[in-house]
Amino acid sequence: MRLIDRYTLKLMTWPLIGAILVTLTGLLLERVLRLLDVLSGSSNRFGFLTELTANLVPHYLGLTLPAAFFIALFVVISRLNQDSEIDALLASGVSFSRIVVPFVGLGLVLMCISLVLFGYLQPYSRYAYRAVLHAAENAGWSGSVQGGMIVAPNDKLTMTTNFADAAGRRLTGVFIRQIDDDGREQIITARMGQLRTNADGESATLVLERGLQLGTNRRGEPEVLSFDTFAMRVPLSGAARLLRARGGDERELTLGELVSEARRPDSLIPRQTLIAEFLARWSRALSLPLLPLLALPLGLATKRRGSAPGIIVAGLLLLTFNQLLQFGQGLAANGKAAAALSVGGPFVAFTAICAITFVTSRKRPGETPRDGRRRARGRLAGPGPQADEDAPEGGRMTMTRHVAKVLGVQILGALVVLIGVLQVLDLLDVTSDIVERQLGAGGVAYYTMLRLPRLIEQAAPLAVLAGALFGFTRLARNSEVTAMRAAGVSGYRLTAMAVPLAIGMMILQLAMSTLVAPATDRTLVDWWRSTTPPVSREAPQPRTFRVGPDIVVATPSPAGPDRLDDITIYRRTLDGQLSQTIKAASAVHVPNGWKLDSPEVRTVAPGRVQASSAEELIWRTALAPSEVEALFSDAMITPKVAQAALEGTASVRPRSYYATQLQRFAAHPIACVVMLLLAVPVALANFRAGRGGVTLVVCLAAGLLFLVVEGVFTAMGESGLAPAWLAAWAAPALFAGGALSVLLYLEG
């Protein structure tokens, strides 16, 4: 290994580690927040979460490697280009092909790592993840209740309470709906209740005080009983279900097992599916040594023009390659194409593009086939005045515009890369379903478009962090910050130049989360439901939710969210006692509420039940079809839905959850500004003295720690362990204050 190779690989170390940490942390945090919701009723919530996160690392690390390697390549190549080190190497006789050798060598090492991850570790970790999730889902109810939350220990028992203490043991306004083995319904309400876990660890005892019990006797007649004290056993665990053995999914098989299974004539998995999975893993691994052949020419753009066009083109090409691989796997799995063609074809095309781009640039380093076509058109057009592409319309580039341009390009590039990685991860789970629905490549593109707003919302803070770190590093390494400081520009003013970019990303994120994403989420749910094959459609299941003090059990209607089927409304007094039940075959939304079709009404009082019926009845409530749709589709909570839940319109979770979400809508976009402030010390670091790298790592770690702390505070707020305002605003306030303190120290 020559000196130039060691020097190049040393330059690659920190950008590669930083890119891996940023993308891996972003992917894990996005999944962790979803898992916290799934595990909200588990007694070992954070224990399961730790195991699940650990098992996700091999899978996400394998997906992260190509994007992180690509980002690191562009960072290092851009630095070598800006510092004229590439020019010096070429002038000293080092060929363009020799320059790319250490990058290709590192790509080969990463290829081996990718093969180990995707070929052997990921199949076991995927099955382990499913096993832990299966155990968590079957661990059942933890024996505590949060006020306002709908708890269902099993499919025959539903509980909720108006208020509960911090431990979830002392309850007020208790409602219990129980279905016995004969299918008869029993409703129990009580003003007070107390839960205690039994010694067997498999059940809890619920002691109720001052309540009513409404049931049906064997003759089918309603009965109501009043009680002062009533005790009942409640199971803590759901029905035990065995998890299948590893290997039921092709993604759970190692490379060797894929080959062995494909040779078996009695394999339960189609042979083309196994071949497609085998080829896709090798294609992703073999693409890593090819990336330098593409990154080096595209990264060597002219110094004045910058490398932004190359980054965007390369990122889109890599994203397209991965999506074509997934689409090809879906075609092969559904028997619509041979695996060698549908999966091998995109890899051959990607290899050809990389090779042609590199060979073309050997004569003119930094040139791509597109540049050659542009030069040919210029010769045909003849001589003429040449405009300076980089000169702004108003004349020379100002300092503020230059800083904004450098940082803006880096932030935009980071956003594109992060969205691409998130899209690849998202499509891994749905491409086969899209192909099965016979939606083709257009269906993949449509799904990607509808998911884009949510991905922008998720990636925005990390994009600001990564883009600001790379941008400030470039300004510092090129001594541009030194020149600004010599001209009297303080660190405060430099920060002020960059803040508008963070505010712009903040506005973009806010617009995505509150305006665009809710609409695209609804469109995606409707489209996915309408394209589900008839044989795969499951009958809609009834859901239980709260509307003020009342409890409602209803089934979603295929006609849309403005209609409910098999609806039962349990009216309660303010102290939680059952006062009336209303059952109807359907309910249709009307301007002043919901019109119930042929309702049967039972008015409940101590010792008696009075029954009546009507042709129709208006249930006067502010419950809107959009809120019904959010309840039944499990879509992302919007500010409107959260506010409506707090006002008592419709909810299935505790008030603390909706209050935290409402505060988070306002606080989360602030993360973009916080990320920028955390990156500012890199601009003021002394890279020539060798301390810049340490500062870069510390700032990166601070940004990732901020996301972790923000997630922890959010989980605490949703579970009621911290006030909603504290859960939403504590992390931004703490880290913004810390970043400003560091800036004051550096300027002091």
CATH of the domain at 603: 2.60.450.10
Residue 239 has pLDDT above 50, yes or no: no
Residue-wise pLDDT tens digits, 544-597 = 999 888 999 999 887 778 899 999 999 998 888 888 999 999 999 998 889 999
255-276 residue pLDDT tens: 888 888 888 887 888 888 889 8
Rounded to an integer, what distance in angstroms lies between the CA atom of residue 416 and that of residue 408?
12
Mean pLDDT value across residues 46-55: 79
Q: Assess contact for 165 and 195: CB atoms under 8 A.
A: no
What is the arithmetic mean of pLDDT over 633-642?
A: 76
What single-letter DSSP state applies at residue 513? I
Q: Per-residue pLDDT for 242 more than 80?
A: no
**Residue 691 maps to a domain:** yes
Contact 380, 114 (CB under 8 A): no
State whether 576 and 652 are in the same domain: no
**Boundary of a domain, candidates 182, 202, 235:** 235
611 bridge partner residues = 602
Q: What is the DSSP string of 146-215?
A: -TT--EEEETTEEEEEEEE-TTS-EEEEEEEEEE-TTS-EEEEEEEEEEEEE-TTSSEEEEEEEEEEEEE
Query: What's the confidence (pLDDT) of residue 44?
Result: 61
pLDDT of residue 567: 92
The residue whose two tokens read 């009834």 is: 542
Angle, CA 308 vertex, CA 80 and CA 409 arms, to 5°: 105
What is the CB neighbour count within 10 angstroms for residue 375?
A: 11
Assess if residue 395 is contained within a domain: no
673 lies in the same domain as 622: no
597 falls within a domain? yes
Evaluate if residue 248 carries a pLDDT over 50.
yes
Do residues 613 and 651 share a domain? no
In the numeric block, which tokens belong to residue 537?
A: 């459609």
Same domain, 661 and 619: no
Q: Is the domain of 626 the same as that of 570? A: yes
Question: 444-486 pLDDT, tens per residue?
Answer: 888 889 989 988 988 899 899 988 988 888 888 878 888 888 8
Query: Which residues are CB-contacts of 68 (< 8 A; sequence separation ≥ 6)?
Result: 16, 19, 20, 22, 23, 24
Q: Residue 499 — pLDDT band, cuts 50, 70, 90?
A: very high
Identify whether 709 is part of a domain.
yes
At 142-165, the pLDDT tens digits run 667 788 888 887 778 888 898 888
Structure tokens at 572: 């309660």
What are the DSSP calls for 102-156, one per residue? HHHHHHHHHHHHHHHIIIIIHHHHHHHHHHHHHHHHHS---S---TT--EEEETT
Q: How far is it, in rounded angstroms, from Cα 572 to Cα 175? A: 9
Question: Do 698 and 676 have their domain in common?
Answer: yes
Which pLDDT value is given to residue 672?
94
From 176, 211, 235, the end of a domain falls on: 235
Mean pLDDT of the chain: 82
Closest CA to 636 of 443, 453, 506, 417: 453
Asked if residue 209 and residue 158 are part of one domain, the reply reads yes
Domains in the chain: how many in total?
A: 3
Burial class (CB in 10 A: 0-12, 13-18, 19+), 620: exposed
Sheet holding 157-164, edge to edge: 151-154, 157-164, 170-179, 185-197, 203-216, 222-235
Answer yes or no: is 565 within a domain: yes
Confidence check: pLDDT of 1 > 90: no
Mean pLDDT to the nearest integer, 223-232: 87
Residues 577 and 599 in one domain: yes
Handedness of CA 302, 308, 313, 315 (dihedral sign): positive
Q: Is 368's pLDDT higher than 60?
A: no
| 562 shares its domain with 646 | no
The alpha carbon torsion through 403, 404, 407, 411 (nearest 10 deg) reads 180
Higher pLDDT, 47 or 684: 684
Choice between 73 and 45, residue whose per-residue pLDDT is larger? 73
Q: What is the pLDDT of residue 689?
A: 58
Mind listing the pLDDT tens digit for each residue in 700-717?
Answer: 888 888 988 888 888 888
CA angle 642, 151, 573 (to 5 degrees): 75
CA dihedral 499, 505, 507, 512 (to 10 degrees): -170
547: how many CB neighbours lie within 10 A of its CB? 18
Residues 171-184 have a mean pLDDT of: 86
| 306 is a domain residue | no
Residue 112 lies in a domain: no
Residue-wise pLDDT for 408-441, tens only, equals 988 988 888 788 878 877 787 787 778 777 777 7
Residue located via tokens 């504590």: 730
Q: Collapse the DSSP code of 603 into the 3-class scheme (helix H, G, I; strand E, B; otherwise coil) and give the result.
A: strand
Give pLDDT, residue 741.
92
Co-location of 605 and 645 in the same domain: no
Q: What is the pLDDT of residue 72?
A: 85
Could you tell me if residue 167 is inside a domain? Answer: yes
Q: Which one of 235, 257, 290 terminates a domain?
A: 235
Its domain, for residue 725, covers 641-747
Calculate mean pLDDT across residues 99-124. 90
Residue 699 to residue 677: CA distance in whole angstroms: 10
